């Protein structure tokens, strides 16, 4: 007589415990109930209704992303190779999960295309001399594009600008000629 009740109670306890979740201090759980957004949970321990609620976790720490070296053309038609680094943070976990399928890939893609576009608006001298200005311009463009996704771009830095070997030799000859005068 008590065995069926005991089994039922054990099953109920197991189902209830299966809904417990833990989010670290740097994580937030974006919870959906039957496909609809139900709220943000965490940090700490919280409970999800088994079979009715599920979650996606968002990391709200500052993340870094390397933008691989890519060839771009400056305004004065010089082909250069540029690589950069980007620092971003999820400020709205719900929008970062709901508004874009993969915010990391989306941020990477928008940063790469924006880097090419910004370099294309400047001449080679400007790219070499005014990196801070270009970095700020790039950060503003990427930040404006990702704001709807709940992402804040904190900083963008061009790490290295490679100019073609022929162009380097010509610039060295020009600098030497200026010094000889």
Phi, psi of 100 (to 5 degrees): -145, 140
Q: The whole model's pTM is what?
A: 0.82
Phi, psi of 31 (to 5 degrees): -100, 135
- The sheet with strand 53-59 has its strands ordered as 36-41, 27-33, 53-59
Number of domains in the chain: 2
Beta-bridge partners for 31: 39, 55
User: Any idea what the CATH number is for the domain that residue 126 is in?
Assistant: 3.30.479.30
Q: d(Cα 140, Cα 160) in Å, to the nearest integer?
A: 20
Q: d(Cα 89, Cα 1) in Å, to the nearest integer?
A: 57
pLDDT at residue 58 in the model: 96
Q: What band does 23 get if pLDDT is binned at 50, 70 and 90?
A: very high
18 and 105 part of one domain: no
Look at residue 171 and tell me whether its pLDDT is greater than 80: no
55 and 74 part of one domain: no
Q: What band does 181 get if pLDDT is binned at 50, 70 and 90?
A: low
How much is the mean pLDDT over the chain? Answer: 92
99 and 10 part of one domain: no
Residue pair 86/159 in contact (Cβ under 8 Å)? The answer is no
Structure-token pair, residue 36:
């609809």
Give domain status of residue 104, yes or no: yes
Of 8-22, 49-63, 163-177, the range with the lowest mean pLDDT is 163-177
35 and 81 part of one domain: no
Q: d(Cα 119, Cα 133) in Å, to the nearest integer?
A: 11
Domain stop point among 18, 35, 59:
59
pLDDT at residue 4 in the model: 87
Residue 72, domain extent: 62-169
pLDDT at residue 180 in the model: 74
32 and 112 part of one domain: no
């Amino acid at each position: 007589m008590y065995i069926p009740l005991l089994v039922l109670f054990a099953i109920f306890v197991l189902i209830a415990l299966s809904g417990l979740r833990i989010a670290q201090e740097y994580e937030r759980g974006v919870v959906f109930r039957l496909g609809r957004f139900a709220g943000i949970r965490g940090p700490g321990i919280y409970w999800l209704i088994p079979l009715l609620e599920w979650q996606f976790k968002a990391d709200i720490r500052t993340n870094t992303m390397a933008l691989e070296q890519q060839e771009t053309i400056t305004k004065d038609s010089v082909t250069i190779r540029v690589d950069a680094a980007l620092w971003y943070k999820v400020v709205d976990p719900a929008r970062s999960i709901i508004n874009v399928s993969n915010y990391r890939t989306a941020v990477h893609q928008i940063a790469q295309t924006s880097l090419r576009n910004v370099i294309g608006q400047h001449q080679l001298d400007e790219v070499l001399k005014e990196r801070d200005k270009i970095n700020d311009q790039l950060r503003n463009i990427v930040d404006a594009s990702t704001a709807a996704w709940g992402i804040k771009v904190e900083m963008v830095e061009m790490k290295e600008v490679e100019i073609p070997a022929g162009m380097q030799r010509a610039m060295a000859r020009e600098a030497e000629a200026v010094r000889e005068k």
